[in-house]
Structure 1
Amino acid sequence: MGWLEGDVALITGAGSGLGRALVDRFVAEGARVVALDRSADRAAAVQAAHEGSVVGVAGDVTVVEDNERAVARALAQFGRLDTFVGNAGLYDYGARVADTPAEALSRGFDELFAVNVKGCLLGVKAALDALVETSGSVVLTASLAARSAGIGGAVYTASKHAVVGLVGQLALELAPRVRVNAVSPGFMRTDIRGPRALGLDDRTLASFPDLDELARAVLPLQFLPDPADYTGHYVQLASRANAAATTGVVVDCDGGFAVRGMGPPPG
């Protein structure tokens, strides 16, 4: 029996990368899942891969009605909602303020924050009544960039600091009925896109040919994790049996980046 046996989760950004890995892991742990993704094709594909356990919903996390529709689908299909996982995100690929035209910077900020921050907030709002009914939980995706400079640009870094702020504030506001936590993953190979306003909507981390070498050079654990390597933390935080006393916590899983300090690269 899995840690999430009988639970129902709503996962955003669920059609690829870390989101898809989370769907696969939650199902393996006994959960049924509503997989929200902006691509109808990806939403359909993840549903087809887990027929009967997953419902794919095409929608935009920045739109109130799409979040509400995903929650309604969970209640209609599965009768309850136990966990909201706010995972959809954009990455700015280290866009530097000095090198970015002011108008593009303004539009890029609005676009990225709408997904990374507002998407989490709207998802929690849409799910809240259902989560109160089940004494459920929220798990958000933060980032190594929430603690370390140089992982992304100023816009992405600020957005992930904002996610950490949401965790603390929502954990206080929603107690005692709903627990709120986050996971801060480090490096991984994924197809996360960037803001269209910055010309980054077709760029992906998976296209970086030297990402494995970079991870080995800067991480004490000396390997590039797969998205699936991060999913266990989400499962634990979602599990009532294993995280009943945990709220307002951000779990860092950075391959040892934080303890490397100024020492030489491992090797």
Structure 2
Amino acid sequence: MGTPLGDFIRTKRDSIQPESLGLPERGRRRSPGLRRSDLAVRAGISVEYLTRIEQGRDRNPSVPIVNSLADALSLDPAERNHLRYLVKITGGECAGRTRPAPPAREVRATVRETLRLLEPGIAVVTNRLGDVLAWTSGYAAVLGASGLLDTEAPNLTRYVFTHPAARALFADWADVADEQAFDLWLGPSVENSEWLSTELAPVAGPEFTSRLNRHAVPRRGVLRLDHPTAGELRLLRETMELPADAQQLVVLLAADDATAQALDQLRHRGTGHLRAIS
């Protein structure tokens, strides 16, 4: 049985063209990308050991080996951080760690007060599963027409992959989908979450599962919305991690003057107050 660590290494290996590393072309291949033997040589390990890591039979590679694999795969800093994270959670499973608790849904009073101080700005608190836990009236004014907040327990990940309006709302839907799938790996119970396996995956389908298993580290550029009434909005995202709660406070800011004017109009029309779900 494979592991997230092995899946990530194999996926990155398959994505590398040998000629990009100065390796000779060796004729037709049964699978795309870099040969396992070539990666093993570049990393200074045996093919047999690399096979054990990729197949999940060795879940505790040493720090020097992890660094060698990162160098051999030419990982960028974000991908290196993800590799180290996958080593950590894979090794924890091997050691028989206790099942992690589900992500917290309660938003601390001090965080709610921070949201209040951000009014009428556009801000939201989420957890790594995409649960939308608390938001400002400005957030509701901008996203209210999208259908995201229509349910009792709104969830951005479910919305992106299953709501019919999502692909129209997000101009760069594929990038947003990659972000939501990737963030699930950072959650405290990504692999054994009943929500993930029994609720989301069956309805989200292969669009979701393929992205989850690809481990594509997102770049998180400008968020572009095709708003149903305001037209194109270009938003910058400022994220404050709340590690004690496994949550994030995300503030959306106008990326240009046209967006700033459109946001002012939306907030002027909107009504309501800070909302929190627990």
Q: TM-score scaled by structure 1?
A: 0.28
Higher radius of gyration, 1 or 2: 2
